[in-house]
Structure 1
């Protein structure tokens, strides 16, 4: 191959290689520019819980008064990416149950509560279809797994406090209604199940949803 032809060949190869690299980088930049938006969303709320499993009330307890209801509180921090699956952490507190009465003529009272610490996953029912006002876009299903800290307080002569850890899970659904650019009001139904300690509760809550950061 003559030197001039060889030089021309190198110039053509370099030119096409440079154009190809630029086209590839342009495609990457275009894809990156289309990503997002992302957001950190904080949810907090309260409501009513109902203890749904067996209560082991001592048979010696006289004039027993049992309560399966509680007033839970929840706080959740979630990462909303530019696709369906959202991930975050949830914690809070709720009463599981309580009962009181008399044993051998002496007043006795038991109070049991739990604090969940859960890794959460959530997904809206509608994403690629529908508009922001559609029902499916505002509905979400969720689930999580983690640890429940179960605390008990026994008042019988002396006060005895105890706590135990139980693995468990949670499943639920929510509906969120926009009330501003960064806020939503949500209604949430969920099921807490501390499997190891055999404690479970149905929870209904009203939440305030705040889009704290977005980019």
Structure 2
């Protein structure tokens, strides 16, 4: 009889120990079946930029007219997985600055623009709130690094154009508002910095986001 009791108690102990492990395996399996959805989001946008670093205008230039404002354009492809870290690529075009004036009674003009090509990451700030449907889910921070193609154009008696490649980075914060199943609109504040060429600009943009594919 004692052997029967001991055997029964042993089975109960083993069952008690095995149940959590089986439950965990079942949860992992269930998680594996419910991963996703994943999507690729294409974004295009434009806005206004302000050149925010020192601008060396030649002292010999008279009647100087200087502009630090530009119209930046952005194209972005973003992979959105089922966790918070998103990865993508960003490019576009932005004016850095321009100025014009006269030297020896001849008018000249300088125009500088940049094309960023950046690998980026983005993370929504939903971790600030326990509620995934809160406004924090619509706030995101974005960062990236890569190269800038800085294009300069000098128009003085003849036209001289040069292009240089500069390492740089970008940082941004955005708010996204849903418009429908596939469309979103975002307001984004961002900082462009072409470090090697010492060109930097602050930009405010409005972006239209379209969910290209989903699986």
Into which bin does the TM-score normalised by the smaller protein fall? 0.7 to 0.9
How far has the Cα of 1:135 moved from its partner?
1.2
Cα shift readout 1:165-193 (whole Å, capped 9, x = no counterpart): 00011111000001111111110000000
| 1:108 counterpart residue number | 108
In structure 1, the partner of 2:121 is 121
Q: Where does residue 130 of structure 1 map in the other structure?
A: 131
TM-score, scaled to structure 1 = 0.86
Give matches, 1:131-150, under 5 Å.
Answer: 131-132=132-133, 134-150=134-150
Gaps of 5+ in 2: 1-21
Please tell me the root mean square deviation across aligned C-alpha atoms, in Å.
Answer: 1.7
Q: Which residue of 2 aligns with 1:81?
A: 81
Give the Cα–Cα distance (whole angstroms) in 2 for the partners of residues 80 and 197 of structure 1: 33
- In the alignment, does 2:151 pair up with 1:151? yes
2:10 aligns with: none
> Displaced runs of 4+ in structure 1, greater than 3 A?
22-29
1:123 partner SS: strand
Q: Which residue is 1:50 aligned to? A: 50
Gaps of 5+ in 1: 1-21
Aligned-pair CA distance for 1:28: 5.5
How many residue pairs get matched?
193
TM-score (structure 2 length as normaliser): 0.86
Post-superposition CA distance 1:64-112 (Å, at most 9, x none): 0000000010000000011110000000000000000101110100000
Q: Deviations over 1:101-154 (max 9, x none)?
A: 10111010000000000000000000583243x210100001000000000000
